[in-house]
Amino acid sequence: MSSVGRTLRAYLELSRISNIPTCLTNVLVGCAIAASGEAIPWLPAAGITLAVMLLYVAGMALNDAVDAEVDAQLRPERPIPSGRISRGAAFVYAATCLVLGVGITALFGAAALALGVALAASIVVYDIIHRRIAASVVLMGLCRAVIYPLAAAAVSRSVDWNVVGWLAGTLALYIILMTFVARKEAVVQAGARRWLSAAFPMIVLAPAATLRPQQGIWSIVAAVALIAWLGWAAGRVFGRPSEIGRAVHAWLSGICLIDAFFLTLLDQPAAALICLGCFCLTAVGHRYILGT
């Protein structure tokens, strides 16, 4: 591989590029909420997706830059400790993506800009404190949850904020629990096997109790697929030996399936199919570039 190719791959690893499709699926849910059953406005959706992707990449790069010393001991193969990218270059890359991402949100109005700034701030604070404060997992959940209202505000001034809050809260809880389990493998193995297996499906299916789609069959299909995938992931955690890494990657790609399920609840089955494609891209992408 040429030096250019090696550098490009290093930046793709730094950016966790395999997780990028999950940004698109998050944006689609926010846009679908704003669309209220009508067609999703694809041009604004594309613009806000680019902004969210840039902010996500900024967060991943900043995370590695902040954790460079720890990674040098625990994960020396990462781009910075392996010497493929300098720590300074990673900071510049993260800052550039952060500014560009926030700048794009400004094109969609004051509300979108405010939420873009909130997302950027949550990312920066999380990356700085996450190794020192256990409760920072809440910020991780917030970073994902903010994408729904950000996308909704970018495409419409009239948004059902109750629906936004319900779906965003569900996603946040999923991310918080996923992050906690990834950090607390020993605790999970010690006594939470049944609880974990039941918790994820209960959390992500909860919005079905209040959202009533006109074509419920699609929601049933999406729910079955989602439960099956989450069950497979839980099995990786509690197998002998435990495969926590595979489980975390499965939960990450599962974000696309959660969004697909939400979109069926919002009567957007076509957008749900896009999420299914994103799920496949993410799952396959993890084989080449790790998502964590």
Which of 21, 31, 17 minimizes the C-alpha distance to 262?
Answer: 31
pLDDT at 190: 45
Under 8 Å between Cβ of 147 and 140: no
pLDDT at 1: 67
pLDDT at 175: 94
Alpha carbons 235 and 266: distance in angstroms, whole number = 30
Alpha carbons 19 and 43: distance in angstroms, whole number = 22
pLDDT at 192: 56
pLDDT at 157: 82
In a domain, 224, yes or no: yes
Per the structure, the complete domain to which residue 29 belongs is given by 3-285
Alpha carbons 246 and 231: distance in angstroms, whole number = 13
The secondary structure of 29-94, three-state, reads HHHHHHHCCCCCCHHHHHHHHHHHHHHHHHHHHHHHHHCHHHHHHHCCCCCCCCCCCCHHHHHHHH
pLDDT at 60: 97
Question: What pLDDT, in 10s, does the model give residues 115-167?
Answer: 999 999 999 999 999 888 888 889 999 999 999 999 999 998 888 899 999 99
In a domain, 290, yes or no: no
In a domain, 27, yes or no: yes
In a domain, 71, yes or no: yes
In a domain, 84, yes or no: yes
pTM more than 0.85: yes
In a domain, 246, yes or no: yes
pLDDT at 187: 47
pLDDT at 186: 45
Alpha carbons 259 and 26: distance in angstroms, whole number = 6
pLDDT at 35: 93
Under 8 Å between Cβ of 161 and 41: no
Under 8 Å between Cβ of 253 and 282: yes
Residue type, 116: G
Tokens 């629906």 sit on residue: 163
pLDDT at 177: 86
Which of 148, 156, 162 minimizes the C-alpha distance to 118?
Answer: 148
In a domain, 217, yes or no: yes
In a domain, 164, yes or no: yes
Give the DSSP letter of residue 208: G
The rounded Cα 166 to chain-centroid distance in angstroms is 17
Q: Is the peptide bond before 241 cis (omega within 30 degrees of 0)?
A: yes
Q: How many domains does the chain have?
A: 1
Rounded CA Rg of the chain: 19
Cβ contacts of 102 within 8 Å, gap of 6 or more: 51, 55, 113, 116, 117, 120
pLDDT at 247: 87
Which of 262, 64, 17, 255 minimizes the C-alpha distance to 144?
Answer: 255
Mean pLDDT by 10 residues, the chain (292 residues): 85 96 98 92 95 98 94 91 95 98 97 97 95 88 96 90 95 90 55 63 91 90 95 79 83 97 97 98 96 88
Kindly report the CATH number assigned to the domain that includes residue 265: 1.10.357.140
